[in-house]
Amino acid sequence: MKNNCFVLFATLCGLLMTGNLFAQQDKLYLKNGTVIEGAVIETSDETVKIKIKRTGAEDLVRTFSVEELDRIEFRDGTSQAFSHELEVTPALDISEMKRRGIKINFFGPLYGHTDITYENQTRPGRAYEVTLGIIGLGKNRNIESEFLFGDNNKRSAAGLFVSGGFKFQTKPTYRQKNKRYTHLMQGWFIKPTVTAGAYSQNRIRRERIGEENVFGIPVTLYGQPVVEKERITFGAIEIKAGKQWVFSNSFYMGFDLGLGYVFDNAESSSGSFDFSDVVRSHYAMSKFGSGNTNFAGSLMFQVGILF
C-alpha cells in the first residue's frame, strides 16, 4: 500500500513539473510596449525568430529586428537586453580620416566644360568648396540639334567660371548590421553657392522674313541660319542639396542638385528664332526662360580622391 502511494505521489509531482515547464514560454519585450510569448527558435546579430502556438491552427513564426526589441526573457530564467541606440563606431579613428579632396564633374566634358573642385572640411558637419570651370575643355558640341536641324555648326566656346559654397552636412549614414559606421566627409548636405563666369561662343540667328497661311493658319517664315559670335558674362546664386559617399578613406563620389537665380547680359534674338532664348546653358548651370534674370538649375555628379 505504501509503495502504491509513493508511486502515485511521484507521478503527480512529475505531471505538475511537466505542466509548469510547458506553461513557461520565452517573452519578447518590444520597445513599443508589446510583449510576445512563444519559443525563441533563432537569434542573430540582426533578427530574432519566435514560434507562437495557436489553438486550432498551425504555429506562427514571426521575425523581429533587434532594433525593435527591448529585451528577451527566456523560460530558463535568463534574459538578454538590447540597447535603445545603435552603436556608432567610426570605421577609422577620427584623427585618421582625410578631410580634403579634389574632385571633377564626371560628365562635364561631354557638355563642353571641365570642372575641378577643391573641398576642405573645417570641422565635423562643416566644409567649403571652391570650383574652377574651364569652358571649352571638352566636347565641341553643335549649336543646335543635328537631329532637328541637320547642321554641324559648332559652339567653339571658350571661357572660365568660378564658384564657391559652404557645405552643411548631416550625420554620416553608413550602416552595417546593428552598427552605423561614419566618415566625416560622408552624408547628406546643403550647400549655398555663388557662381560667376564669362565666355564666348558661336550662336545662330534666323531672321524673320515674312508670314504665310498654311491651311488657314498663319506661319512665320525664317531665313537661312547665320552664325555669329556672342560674349556672355553671368552670375548665379543657388541652394544645392546632395549626398556624398567615401570609400576606403581615399576615394569619394557624390551628386548635387541646385536651384536658384541667374543673371546675365545675353541678348534675345530680335526678329529671329533661337532656342537659347528659351533654355540657355551657362555650363555651370542652365537658365530657363528669356530675360537677363531668371530661374537657374544645375545637376552634377562628381568623383574624386581624398588626401
- List the domain boundaries for the chain: 2-84, 94-306
Note the pLDDT of residue 90.
55
In order along its 307 residues, the chain shows pLDDT tens digits of: 555 555 555 555 554 444 444 457 899 999 888 999 999 999 888 899 999 988 888 889 999 988 889 999 999 989 998 875 544 455 567 788 899 999 999 999 999 999 999 999 999 889 999 999 999 999 999 887 555 555 678 999 999 999 999 999 987 655 555 555 678 899 999 999 999 999 999 988 777 777 888 888 888 777 777 888 999 999 999 999 999 999 999 999 999 999 999 999 998 765 555 666 778 999 999 999 888 999 999 999 999 999 9
Q: What is the pLDDT of residue 291?
A: 85
Task: Look at the pTM and tell me if it is higher than 0.85.
Answer: no
* CATH 3.30.530 assigned to 2-84: no
| CATH number of this structure's domain 94-306 | 2.40.160
Q: Which of 167, 208, 174, 224 is nearest to 191 (CA)?
A: 167
> How confident is the model at residue 1, as a pLDDT?
52
- Grid cell at residue 122: 573645417
Angle of CA points 29, 34, 38, to nearest 5°: 60
What pLDDT, on the 0 to 100 scale, is given for residue 300? 96
Look at residue 149 in the predicted model and tell me its pLDDT.
56
pLDDT of residue 146: 52
